Structure 1
Amino acid sequence: MTETATSDTRVRLIDAAADLIAAAPGEDFSLRAVCDAVGVKMPTLYHFFGSKQGLIDAVVERGFDLYLGEKSAMEASGDPIQDIRAGWDAHVAFGLANPGFYTLMYGKVRPGHSPEAQSRASEILLSLTTRAADHGRLAVTPEQAAAHVLVANIGVTLRQIVMAAADPDLSAAVREGTLAAITGTGAQPRTPLAAAIEVAAANPDVLGKAETQLLVEWLTTLGEGTSSAG
């Protein structure tokens, strides 16, 4: 009896590969073990992916689809720095919940190669740092800020995956240090206006999300007007 190749089988093969990778992050995995986990034969796997690298690329692509699906469901606060902060926490949470996908998405490095799907996540981060720069909130360029945040975020997440334990205090400390570095707030006191924006954006439930977003927009506009007047 021949095996019926279905899209469901393809997804199951990807999930099986991700599970095997999660069980031993950084180690190689067997295509035969993937097939055995799904209950299919090797020709079926090659039918869908062509090669082991094809399967790995598919796991990476699916991982980013899941990750970006979660990010798209996040509500914007109206403050780009707070959104970067929330994005950082979501990034770490995704990695800890999906170590198999994550270690391929960000932990398996090939010199000179960057997965095409990775650029989609990077573009979201760059759009936030660009907004922050437009609001006068950055001490570096948007590109530098995005790179700084991404590298630190990946490092913290991989560290916690390796340790097989969440360490929210470590993540928060590195996150706040990174934000201080890109905004320059670690080197000099924040202005009262900037402090007000941070407090409002970090506590959206006090006034309500819609009201908080409107307040942040008003304060940002006020800050821009004050800067241009000076």
Structure 2
Amino acid sequence: MTQIANADTRTRLLDAAAEQVAATPGEDISLRAICAQAGVKMPTLYHFFGSKQGLLDAVVERGFDLYLAEKGAHEPSGDPIQDLRDGWDAHVAFGIANPGFYTLMYGQVHPGHAPEAQERPSAMLRALTQAAADQGRLTVPPDQAAAHILVANIGVTLRQIILAEEDRALSVAVREGAIAAITGTAATGNRHAEIHRVLEYAAANPDILGAAETQLLTKWLRTLAESS
């Protein structure tokens, strides 16, 4: 019974903190207000979370749980580059819909510290860039590609939160620019870029030539790209 009561008390405190964060995006939380809402005294909060930062870390983890649950509801397309696009859009949509959680998850920077929960979506992103690299569709290492996508995605999302309005055109433009940069299709009048544009189009549309033919063409194009 004691364990159940403790879990219930911790949950009430976390619920109260999450509600306050959601209701007042970007503002400092009031520990006294959280304790009052949960019906406990301040020492109880410190017993469960250790400090104000401990409570915020727990709220951040809940934010990532919510974010990943929403992302998990989307079926992967089977194309890692298209899945990067879909993941980008889901990231922006979550931030706009949940500015309180998002600003804690990605907007509050502490040098040398990143929330442990942040690693979960980052690992999913790296898995996509690794899959794209395995298909020969990246011109940078997969870890660098993942970092490129993430920092651009965060920047676009935070800008829209700051402006308190969606800017779909900006999001799409930055998204496509980031993808062009990691796939080597951004430059014009460049033989290497032209090869990668054809490679990317073939890989993204395997039904046009057929799976076997697309695989062979991809192999030839990669050879040409490496020699150019």
Give the TM-score range, shorter chain: 0.7 to 0.9
Structure 1 residues 146, 20: CA separation in 2 closer, same or farther (over 3 Å shift)? Answer: same
Name the residue aligned to 1:151.
Answer: 151
Alignment of 1:50-129 (within 5 A): 50-129=50-129
Q: Which residue identity lines up with residue 226 of structure 1 in the other structure? A: W
Question: Which of the pair has the greater relative contact order for Cα pairs under 8 Å at 6+ separation?
Answer: 1
In terms of mean alpha carbon deviation, does 35-44 or 113-122 score higher? 35-44
CA distance in 2: counterparts of 1:219 and 1:119, whole angstroms: 37
Q: Gaps spanning 5+ residues in structure 2: where?
A: 188-192
8 Å contact 1:78–1:217 — kept in the other structure?
no
CA distance in 2: counterparts of 1:216 and 1:117, whole angstroms: 40
8 Å contact 2:26–2:100 — kept in the other structure?
no
8 Å contact 2:21–2:29 — kept in the other structure?
yes
Q: CA deviation at 1:82?
A: 0.3
CA distance in 2: counterparts of 1:125 and 1:219, whole angstroms: 28
Q: Which residue identity lines up with residue 109 of structure 1 in the other structure? A: V
Q: CA deviation at 1:16?
A: 3.0
Structure 1 residues 79, 8: CA separation in 2 closer, same or farther (over 3 Å shift)? Answer: same
Name the residue aligned to 1:136.
Answer: 136
CA distance in 2: counterparts of 1:167 and 1:146, whole angstroms: 23
Name the residue aligned to 1:194.
Answer: 200
Indicate yes or no: 2:160 matched with 1:166: no
Q: Which whole-Å deviations, capped at 9, do the CAs of 1:136-161 have from their partners, x for residues lacking one?
A: 11111111100000000011111111
In terms of mean alpha carbon deviation, does 145-154 or 34-43 score higher? 34-43
CA distance in 1: counterparts of 2:132 and 2:55, whole angstroms: 38
Structure 1 residues 182, 33: CA separation in 2 closer, same or farther (over 3 Å shift)? Answer: same
Q: Gaps spanning 5+ residues in structure 1: where?
A: 202-211
Q: How many residues get paired?
A: 215
Name the residue aligned to 1:185.
Answer: 185
TM-score between both structures, scaled by the size of structure 2: 0.82
Q: CA deviation at 1:111?
A: 0.6
TM-score between both structures, scaled by the size of structure 1: 0.81
CA distance in 1: counterparts of 2:184 and 2:134, whole angstroms: 15
Q: CA deviation at 1:40?
A: 3.8
Identical counterparts, % of pairs: 66
Q: CA deviation at 1:118?
A: 0.9
CA distance in 2: counterparts of 1:97 and 1:39, whole angstroms: 29
Q: Root-mean-square deviation (CA), in Å?
A: 2.7
